[in-house]
Amino acid sequence: MQDKSISDLAAGLRSGEYTSVELTQHYLDRIGRYDERLNSFVTVTGESALAAAKVADARLKSGDAPALTGIPIANKDIFCTDGVRTSCGSRMLDNFIAPYDAGVISRLKDSGSVMLGKTNMDEFAMGSSNETSFYGPVRNPWDTGLVPGGSSGGSAAAVAAGLCVAATGTDTGGSIRQPAALCGITGLKPTYGRVSRFGMIAFASSLDQGGPMTRSAEDAAHMLQAMAGFDQRDSTCVDQPVPDYLAGIDADLKGLKIGLPKEYFGEGLSAEVAASVEDAIDAYRDMGAEVVEISLPNTDLAVPVYYVVAPAECSSNLARFDGVRFGHRCENPRDLEDLYKRSRGEGFGAEVKRRILIGTYALSAGYYDAYYLKAQQIRHQISDDFAQAFQQVDVIMGPTAPTTAFAIGEKADDPVSMYLSDIYTIAVNLAGLPGMSIPVKPVDGKPVGLQIIGNYFQESKLLNVAHRLQMATDWHQARPEAFS
């Protein structure tokens, strides 16, 4: 059952082969059986999931049933969910019960999907390994001694292990695509503004974007169809019609122009990962695509720019967590200053504190022009690099991550090395472009991801390009044996 696609499961629900209650119970049983080894869920909402499944079954019988009706999914614990703890992986929000639904949650509820629970994540989405969570690290289903990637590592691990059909994630600098690559699943970061950020707890407001994490591009299309759309409550959401993402997913790729940035295939890239990516590129050549070398000359500046812009925005966004209105509050504060200091000191973990300090410094008097303003100027140049590249090619491809999954604890004390895990994904967020990662040939049993980058609002093209490779190969069908 857990190996079936959304389309197959939806067909089974409509034919009466099984009910949503039976399907939901199957996944709840798998979570109960396997998640102790993975730690992919923070909260399991079994009772409400079965109640929602009963409603879904009634909708299916009545004939008034959207495409995702009765499909069990999970949501990253960064999306506010009415009546459910929304922790953002932090002690700061360990006791926070959201009083409303995020825009994404509302849309998925309207689609008829069933939420199994909330998935673990790096604290406030800050991390590339899912080791910064207050609830402990998530483990990779392919090898539980390895990280799943982050910050959406809980969602990636849950999908890869078959604990849910699909999950939501968020991507600020690669946090959907990098864990998708390390766990061997499909992850899509839409164009900035394509999916509502309302009720998605902010890390870096000009970079954060929600998206789907699934087994296949076809499943990602189903999820994005439900998630995308204008939300007047989000000032960064774009009022643009949502296309039918499944309509052209089978289109022929003959004549497609693929750009390979020379900067993505240099020093730092594992030779084995490069070979797997080249095999995928060869498959596209066999399908009639044209492959050309391009240049993104400011690629090496993406990481330093990101680690000025993102911490600066994080410093501002996290100022609200002060122990006064909601979230963690220290015991017996002596005065207001002590309340602020101890509540924030106790509530935030080391990585979050590090980024707050960096961001506050970059925004301080005398340093704003030297750091934050300069970073925004270079960010514009990075966007220009992509704009020029898309005058020559239809999509850009390369590795999602420079290596396969690394051991838990291997980079925990080396933040710079950890930051470089996102070296190929960060520029996409700085430019606001859509990008996705799909599985290609594994290396020594470890998943490898191919990154596909498109022009603004070209998610349909990305899904088409990804789907055609998945129809021609079986790399995306590999499953971790321990969770079969």
> Which residues are marked as active site?
76, 151, 175
Tokens of 60: 């299916």
* Six-digit token string for 264: 């993505």
Q: Please tell me the distance from the alpha carbon of residue 353 to that of residue 318, in angstroms, as a whole number.
A: 10
> At what angle are helices 217-227 and 459-472 packed, to 10 degrees?
160
